[in-house]
Chain A
C-alpha cells in the first residue's frame, strides 16, 4: 500500500471509526459481528441476542463499554460559577465526590444535550455528554477563569449494571463499595491502577460506572469477568441497554429529543420543561443559559410535553402517531421510544403530546403499524398517560445493596 507511505498505520482515513481499549475483548465475545458507530468509535450493538443481554441486566450483572461517552475536564477558579451558568440545575449544591444529572440549553431555552457532572474537587469537574460540546463549552467560558479540555480518549469507561453488580465489585476487590450511595463516586487505588467508580448508570437498576486509564482497560475487564463468573456476568451491547433505559424512563438524545444545535425545522427543539424535566430547572439560582426564555415559557404554559404511555395490547408502538380522536385521526402527538417491557409486563412508550393531552391519566389513541411477512397491519389502541419511570426497583437505591 504505497499510497499510505508516511502515514501512521492504519492511516486515519482508512479507519474512520476508532477502536475502544476494550475492542479486542468485545470482538472475542461477539457472536454475530454486530458493531455500530458511536461518537466516532466502533462499539457492539448486540453480542448474542438482545433478550439474553436484557435479562442479564435485570437478573445478573452486565458489562457495557462506555468509552465513547464524550468526556470533558472543567477546571479553574471559576469552575463552579461556569458550570452553574451552563446547566439548568444549581450546581453549587453538588458536593465533592458526587455526580449530578444535568441538561444545558441555548439562549432560547432549547436543550443542547444532557449529561452528568462529577465534582472531583472544589475547582475540578468532569462532564460526560452524549455529543461533542467543545465549541459550546469554550464559548461559554468567555469571561470565566476556567479551562475546558476534552479527555474522551484518555479515559476508558465501563458500565457494570444489574442486581449482582455490587457483589461483583466486592469480589473484584473494591472493599467498602457497599457504602457507595447513588450518585456518589470514589477513587480506588489497587495494584498500581487507579479506578474511579460512580454509582450511576442508564438502566434504572443497581449499577456502577468505572473510569480508568486506557492502559488498565483490558486487565479491569478480565478481572471483572472473572469476578462475575458465578453471578452470570455478560457483556452487553447498546440494544439491550436501550430497553433498560426506556423502562427506567431515561431520555435518549437524538431519539426522544434532538439537540437544538442539530434541528433545522421550526418547533423541533425541546426545552427541559417540555421534556418533563422541570425538576432539573432551578429558577432560584443565579442566571443560567436559557433562563429568560424558560421563564417566559413557564409563564405562558406548555404547548407540548414528553410523557410516559401505557398502551393496550402487547405490540410495541414504535414511532406511532397519537390521535385524540381515532375516528377523524386528529393528531395530538407521537411516540419517541416504545417497547414491550418484559419486566413490567406492560406495553410502554415515551411520547410527545400536545396540550392538553399530556395531563396525567388522559387517554389517547396509538396508531400502531405491524409489518408481518411483508404485509402492513394496523392497530388502533388506547394509550394512557402515566408516570415515569415504568420500572424503579428498590434495589437501585438500597445502600448497602443486597449481598448476592
Chain B
C-alpha cells in the first residue's frame, strides 16, 4: 500500500467536508473521496439545462449555524449570500399569506396573534432542541462520565424551560402536526405552512405521529442561525465549494471522481478503502458520510458484522418520498394575486392540511400525488449567475412520490411532472408557456445521482425510533460502529439531515475523543 492517511472520509457531501475540515485543523492527514464529479452531495450543483443551474436537491441554507459558519471561515472561502432572511409565502389559488418569523400578513388580527404566540413558543422549544441536536446523543445506561453529563444537561435544560413550558413541550413533542396546527391556528394556509415544515423530507403526512418532532428538529436547526432562509450566490453548490476550500486550506485533500468500492478490514480493524478503479488506499480510520445501509451492507459487507446488527441495518427506514423539480424559464412568471416583490420568497403551495394528507395518501399505495404540495424557489430573482440573460430558474420540492412506485420510473416521472405542472398552473396561470426545459427527479433518481439509498433527505426517516441515541440504530449511534476505526458522519447519524453540518461536526469531535 501507499502512504497511510490518518483519516479517509468517504463522500464529499457537506457533512463529509465539515468533518474533514475539523480533523485536518486538528492536525490529522485527511483524504476525502467523492464518487461524483462535484462536491456537495444533495447540495452539489447541477446544470439541468444549458446555462441553467441549481443544486441537485437542497434549495435553501437555513439550518447551518452561525457559529459553524464562522469557525469554518466560509466567507473567507468565497461564500456570499444573494439573499438572506427570506419570507415564506403560502399560496392557494387566489389567496396567500406571508410569514416572516413571528409576523404574518394576510390573516385576521386574531390569527396573527395566535401565530405569534405559537411561533414564540416553538422558537423556545427549538432553542432547547438545538442544544440537544448539537451535542452527541448520550448512551443510556452508560456509566461513562460524558454520557451522564450530557443527559444531566439535557434534563436540566428541559427543566429550565420552566414547569409550564416543560409540560407543554412534553405534551406536544410526541404529537402529530395536524393536531397541533388545528388546535392552535384557524387559517388553513397557516396550518398548512406549519404542516409543510413538519413533513418536508420525511415519509409522513401531517397526521403521522412524530411530525411535531420533525417540525421541532427543523426549527432547531433554524434556531442556530440569524440568517433565516438563505441563498448563496452561485447556488448551494457554491456553499459546498466553500466548504471544500476550507477543508483544503486546513490541509485536507479532496478527490472527486473517486468512488469507494469497499472498506478494507484486517483483524477486525479498519485498514483503508478500495476504490472502484482497483486502487487501495490505507488509513488508520475511515469515516463514512454515505448512508448507513450502503456503508454497512455494500462498502463493509455483512460478513464483518453480527446478524442482530445487520437486522437493524436492514430495518432502518430510508425510503425517500420527496421529488425535486427544475424548470428553465424564459421569463419571470406571475402568480395570481402575488406582488412581484414576493416572487423571491420561499413559496409554498399547500392550501390546507387535508390537501397535504391527501397528497400523502397516494404514496402509501405506490403512487404519486394527484395534487402535490410544492416548496418553490426562484433563485434568479436574487442571483443572476444561475441562468442566461433573461432566463429564470424555478426549482421546487414536490411532495409526494412513492419510492417503490407501482409504475415504471418513466411513467411515474411523467405523471408527477404533469400533476405538479397542473398545480403550478393553478397558482401561476400561463407559466407553462415560459418553460424552456423541465427536469423532475424522483427519489429513485436522487438515489442514483446522489448515491443515497432511497434518495432520502435525511438518509433515513427522522422518527422516535431512529432519533437521538438510537440514530441510525443501536450499535452505530455516537458515530462509532462495531468495527474499530470505522465511523459514520452523514445525515443518517444524529441529529439527521438538512444542511446543518452537525453530524459531520459531532463525528469529528467524537473521533478526536476516542481515536487511538
Contacts and interface: CB of A to CB of B under 8 A. Distances in A.
B308 A107 contact: yes
Contact of A287 (B297, B303, B311, B314): B303
A190 to B, nearest CB: 41
A292 B480 CA distance: 15
A142 B314 contact: yes
Given A287-B268, A292-B268, A143 B306 contact: no
Contacts of B308: 106-107, 289
A49 B308 CA distance: 45
A119 B307 CA distance: 22
* Interface size range on A against B: 10 to 19
B309 A287 contact: no
Nearest to A136: B307
Given A292-B268, A292-B482, A139 B303 contact: no
A143 B307 contact: no
Given A287-B268, A292-B268, A140 B307 contact: yes
Interface in B265-280: 268
A35 B180 CA distance: 61
Nearest to B303: A85
B304 A139 contact: no
A115 to B, nearest CB: 16
A7 B304 CA distance: 48
A289 B303 CA distance: 9
B27 interface: no
A291 B303 CA distance: 12
A196 B306 CA distance: 33
Contact of A143 (B310, B475, B482): B310
A286 interface: yes
Interface string B298-335: 00011111111111001000000000000000000000
B301 A139 contact: no
A272 interface: no
Nearest to A137: B307
Contact of A289 (B268, B307, B314, B475): B307
A139 B308 CA distance: 8
Interface residues of B, number: 16
A318 interface: no
A106 B303 contact: no
A81 interface: yes
A290 B314 CA distance: 18
Contacts of A136: 307
A85 B306 CA distance: 8
B307 A107 contact: yes
Contacts of A291: 268, 306
Interface string B137-158: 0000000000000000000000
Given A85-B303, A106-B307, A144-B302, A139 B314 contact: yes
B310 A142 contact: yes
Contacts of A287: 268, 303-305
A107 B314 contact: no
Interface string A305-318: 00000000000000
B306 A106 contact: yes
A292 B305 CA distance: 10
Contacts of A106: 306-308
Interface in A260-301: 286-287, 289-292
B310 A286 contact: no
Contacts of B304: 287
A184 B301 CA distance: 33
B306 A142 contact: no
Given A106-B308, A143-B310, A287-B268, A81 B297 contact: no
Nearest to A292: B482
A282 to B, nearest CB: 14
B306 A286 contact: no
A140 B307 CA distance: 5
Interface in A108-142: 136, 139-140, 142
A107 B302 CA distance: 13
Contacts of B307: 86, 106-107, 136, 139-140, 289
Given A287-B268, A292-B268, A292-B482, A81 B311 contact: no
Contacts of B314: 139, 142
A286 B267 CA distance: 8
Contacts of B311: 139
A143 B309 contact: no
A136 B306 CA distance: 11
Contacts of A85: 302-303
Among A106, A143, A286, A292, max chain B CB count under 10 A is at A143
15 contacts: A81-B303, A106-B306, A107-B306, A107-B309, A139-B310, A139-B311, A139-B314, A140-B307, A143-B303, A144-B302, A144-B303, A287-B304, A289-B308, A291-B268, A292-B306
A-B residue pairs, 8 tightest by C-beta? A143-B302, A107-B306, A107-B308, A140-B307, A289-B306, A139-B311, A287-B304, A85-B303
Interface of A: 81, 85-86, 106-107, 136, 139-140, 142-144, 286-287, 289-292
Given A106-B308, A107-B308, A142-B297, 14 more contacts: A85-B302, A106-B307, A107-B307, A139-B311, A140-B307, A143-B301, A143-B302, A286-B303, A287-B303, A287-B304, A287-B305, A289-B307, A289-B308, A290-B306
